[in-house]
Amino acid sequence: MIHSHLDRDLSLAELAAAAGLSTGYFSQMFRTATGQSPHQFVLAARIERAKSLLKGSQRVIDVALRCGFKTQQHFSRVFRKMCDVSPTEYRRHEGMADVSAFEVKGQAVTIDSSP
């Protein structure tokens, strides 16, 4: 459900209802299963989708909106916090030979620089 609805608001209550659990129990079980809160997981999934979309020619604001962010500023702030570069910097360096990896949530993400 999460990955197919990243372009819109996903409330904890909605996620819990889809799982048939109370919000508190869902949140606790989700964190146990994934090591992240539902909100952190959704943000990480949105950023991963954004990284894929940034490889194209869409404007950054359009990428932000397609990934469920209300404003480009919020998107840029979250992207920078999770990837240590802005969306524009990520796009600029994507595919360049001298940039081999970015880090997302402490996990190395290698960028394939082959043509």
In the structure encoding, which two tokens stand for residue 94, read together? 């994507």
Flag whether the pTM goes above 0.85.
no
Residue 97's pLDDT is what?
A: 34
Confidence at residue 23, expressed as pLDDT on a 0 to 100 scale = 96
pLDDT tens for the 115 residues of the chain, in order: 898 899 998 999 999 999 999 999 999 999 999 999 999 999 999 999 999 999 999 999 999 999 999 999 999 999 999 999 999 999 998 744 333 455 565 565 554 444 4
For residue 62, how many other CB atoms are within 10 A of its CB?
Answer: 13
> What is the helix, strand, coil percentage profile of the chain, to 5?
55, 5, 35
pLDDT score, position 29:
96
Contact 111, 94 (CB under 8 A): yes
Q: What is the pLDDT of residue 111?
A: 47
